[in-house]
DNA sequence: CAATAATTGCACTTCCATTGCATAAGAGAG
DNA sequence: CTCTCTTATGCAATGGAAGTGCAATTATTG
């Protein structure tokens, strides 16, 4: 019984071949991926299965969804010990206007945002757009 | 020649009946609207015309687009003297999880966000979700 | 008025997200 | 191990929003 199996068990997710493959795919990526990316990586598998696998991961707080403003939902693995299941992740996301990739800046927490009297802030989505390190570094 | 005509002229937008109606509709709203909202308000007009009118307004920096994470694009009139034409609006947006409405917090500017070495920040989208004043105030 | 340019309406397309249902695979009881 | 029941997977279809091509209408200009 290895690490990943234990991890799945702790998250109450049954281990299947498909899920393992998709998990490993996500784990190896350092940028957020679209469903399309996953499709391209697993052409033999059905779109719906991939979709529902990601949804399962999301429900169980294995991945979190990212809305970077491109109109296409992206996903990334949650940090170990994140609390995505109880609240939105507090880190910010960076979208590169050049390479069109989106990454989690997990150690850049979202600052406290002041809202007017009467408003209650429950969570915050913060996306910074610009040029990423790979693209800016020539 | 009244105010609105002058305003349209200053923005290099030709005045048409449709545009005037839509402008007035937006001006009277205090929340961001979807294309669907506009459609419902002008059932006799064609969807495409409404769509393109909004797009024209957007191009000419009369309205700005808001991505509040619901997946549906919303629009709101720009403040007088905003600089939406040269950069994204710097104010933050609030989305109410209760009434599902989104409003511009025009006098709440987005704070400076620090990004890691090598990253260049060009603009920022900041959406706060929670309960709005109308919904929280009982 | 005629000629030209911009706006509007209709039909159609594309793309992503989501669901219903049938089948296959897996877990558990006996 | 076998039967039963649950869950996962695959296929087909749907829904909704966004965007485009083109023809018809309306506005502008000379
Ligand atoms: Mn993230
Ligand atoms: Mn705004
Ligand atoms: Zn980049
Ligand atoms: Zn509200």
Residue A61's pLDDT is what?
94
Mean pLDDT of B28-45: 96
Whether residues B128 and A124 touch (CB distance < 8 A) is answered with: yes
Strands A120-131 and B120-131: antiparallel
Q: Give the length of chain A.
A: 138
pLDDT tens readout for residues A12-36: 999 999 999 999 999 999 999 999 9
Residue A1's pLDDT is what?
46
Spacing of A52 CA from D7 C1' in Å = 13
- Inter-chain Cβ pairs, chain A and chain B, closer than 8 A: 104
Domains of chain B (ranges, CATH numbers): 2-130 (1.10.10.10)
Strand order in B120-131's β-sheet? A102-109, A91-96, A120-131, B120-131, B91-96, B102-109
Which two three-digit tokens encode residue B63?
Answer: 């309205």
Secondary structure of residue A83 in the 3-state scheme: coil
pLDDT tens readout for residues A43-84: 999 999 999 999 999 999 999 999 999 999 999 999 987 777
- With an 8 Å Cβ cutoff, is A4 touching chain B? no
- Measured N-to-C along each axis, helices B47-59 and B17-28 cross at an angle, to the nearest 10 degrees, of 70
Residue B35's pLDDT is what?
98
**Ligand at shortest distance from the CA of A125:** 1
Name the pLDDT band for A87 (thresholds 50, 70, 90). Answer: low
Residue B1's pLDDT is what?
47
Residue B137's pLDDT is what?
79
Chain C footprint positions (protein CB, under 7 Å): 6-11, 16-20, 26-27
Spacing of B41 CA from D24 C1' in Å = 25
Q: By mean pLDDT, which of A2-6, A105-109, B34-38 is the weakest?
A: A2-6
Residue B90's pLDDT is what?
84
Whether residues A130 and B114 touch (CB distance < 8 A) is answered with: no
Percent of chain B clearing pLDDT 70 (strictly above): 96
Percent of chain B clearing pLDDT 90 (strictly above): 86
Percent of chain A clearing pLDDT 70 (strictly above): 95
Of A97, A119, A131, the CB nearest to B133: A119
What Cα–Cα distance (Å) separates residue A126 from each residue in A35, B13, B110?
A: 21, 33, 10
Tell me which residues have their CB below 7 A from strand C: A 14-17, 34-36, 47-48, 51-52, 55, 71-73; B 13-14, 16-19, 44-49, 52-53, 56, 71
Whether residues A129 and B126 touch (CB distance < 8 A) is answered with: no
Which residues of chain A make contact with B111, given a CB cutoff of 8 A?
Answer: 111, 113
pLDDT tens readout for residues B69-126: 999 999 999 998 787 766 667 899 999 999 999 999 999 999 999 999 999 999 999 9
């Amino acid at each position: 019984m290895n690490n990943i199996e234990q991890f799945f068990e702790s998250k109450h997710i049954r281990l299947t071949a498909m899920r393992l493959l998709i998990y490993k795919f996500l784990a190896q990526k350092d940028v957020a991926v679209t469903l399309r990316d996953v499709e391209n990586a697993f052409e033999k598998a059905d779109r719906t299965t991939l979709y529902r696998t990601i949804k399962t991961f999301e429900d169980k707080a294995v991945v979190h969804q990212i809305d970077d403003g491109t109109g296409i939902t992206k996903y990334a693995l949650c940090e170990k010990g994140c609390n995505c299941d109880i609240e939105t992740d507090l880190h910010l996301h960076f979208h590169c206007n050049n390479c069109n990739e989106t990454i989690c800046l997990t150690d850049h927490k979202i600052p406290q945002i002041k809202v007017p009297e009467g408003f209650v802030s429950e969570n915050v989505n913060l996306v910074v757009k610009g040029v990423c390190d790979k693209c800016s570094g020539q």
